[in-house]
Amino acid sequence: MRGAGNKGLLLLFALIALATLFFSYQQLSRSTDDSGSLISLDGRTMGTGYRVLLQADEAFNSSVNAELQAAIETRLVILDKTIFSTYVPDSEISVFNQADQGVFNASPEFITVLQRALEIHRLSDGAFDPSLKPVVDLWGFGTQVGRQEVPSPDVLAAVFGLKGLTDIRISSNAGTVQKKSGVAIDLSGIAKGFAVDEIGKLLEERGISNFLVEIGGEVLSVGNRPDGAPWQLGIERPVAGKTELLQPIRAHSEKMAVAGSGNYRNYFVHEGQRYSHIIDPRTGWPVSHELLSVTVIAESTMEADAWATALFVLGPEAGVRLANELQLAAYFALDNGAGIQSRHSDAFNRYL
């Protein structure tokens, strides 16, 4: 998971978050009076911001809100610092990464996310690859922040050779994960979505049935806004430095889980060439095509998060093809020189 030092990513997510929420706020302020019917709890986690929007009603008062926010923060600290942060040396993922081999006791959360990451790796024909951590680091988008440069071919080849997931064995019954090689994993492409789902669960367990949770642009909305209409989400126009709406998302069910991946904020430029933080596992190089962002709507935010990253790697043609094959709802924004254009999978039609 990213650390606060990666400003590019912070900006990326902060602004995507603003875009989606900007839109819901706009709708809210148009449709509700200023009666304080919306509660917003926010803070920082996973190197980015989080926000929880709730309907205020008689059940809420300031002490309930403070207690609820403390519970949310406690849960987020566990998910980030204790489990998924590659920046914390004694987090579960860091301990796993530092060892050459062994059998590790793993939390249910780690097992759930790793298991789904491996499945999406397989379903995406390797496009989603959590074993790219050393490559992500080498390009300067991981834990070694600050040295964003094109690596030498020899070093890249050596580091690229470390990837591979075949030596990882998960035993859910025993609660263990085994590794037989020095592979290091990075679950940044899926863990934020999982954390959103977990906060959603926490709220539901407390009997809250109308809320919106967002971490770094990955969003889960359940139920309605205070005015009784569904929460309104939108896809940001993929332009750095601006927060504009590209495409509103038609709310379709009680529950909407939406996540995006993009290359238009977290990148560096070297000799006129743009290098983004999403790596193509076939080459070890940052993905380079006309795609600017992919937005996925799925059953869970974890699912949407991982697929957005995977489809981003695959690009507009293969990405739309796979999304149609697997009936994933995906929206692709691209620029092939003629301005921003879009494509979407068949399953996305209902959200337009």
Q: Which residues bind ligand AMP (CB under 6 A)?
A: 128-130, 132, 136, 141-142, 186, 188-189, 261, 277-279, 281, 305, 308-309, 313
Which partner, ligand AMP, Mg ion, none, binds residue 92 by CB below 5 to 8 Å per kind?
Answer: none
Residue type for position 77: V
- 184 near 131, Cβ under 8 Å? yes
Which partner, ligand AMP, Mg ion, none, binds residue 134 by CB below 5 to 8 Å per kind?
Answer: none
Burial (0-12, 13-18, 19+ Cβ within 10 Å), 161: exposed
Site for Mg ion in 187-206 (CB under 5 A): 189
Which partner, Mg ion, ligand AMP, none, binds residue 281 by CB below 5 to 8 Å per kind?
Answer: ligand AMP
**Which position among 50, 305, 310, 323 is part of the footprint of Mg ion (CB under 5 A)?**
305
Which partner, ligand AMP, Mg ion, none, binds residue 277 by CB below 5 to 8 Å per kind?
Answer: ligand AMP
Which residue number, 126 or 175, has a Cβ lying nearer to Mg ion? 126
Which residue number, 151 or 262, has a Cβ lying nearer to Mg ion? 262
DSSP 221-282: EESB-TTSSBP-EEEEP--TT---EEEEE---SSEEEEEEEESSSSEEEETTEEEES-B-TT
CB of 315 to ligand AMP, least distance (A): 12
Which partner, ligand AMP, Mg ion, none, binds residue 304 by CB below 5 to 8 Å per kind?
Answer: none
Distance CA(16)–CA(298), nearest Å, equals 18
Residue type for position 338: A
Distance CA(186)–CA(169), nearest Å, equals 16
Which residue number, 15 or 208, has a Cβ lying nearer to Mg ion? 15
CB of 294 to Mg ion, least distance (A): 9
Q: Are strands 255-262 and 291-298 parallel, antiparallel or unpaired?
A: antiparallel
Q: Candidates 94-102, 132-140, 200-208, 305-313 — which segment interacts with Mg ion by CB under 5 A? A: 305-313
Q: Are strands 218-222 and 255-262 parallel, antiparallel or unpaired?
A: antiparallel
Q: Which residues bind Mg ion (CB under 5 A)?
A: 189, 305, 308-309
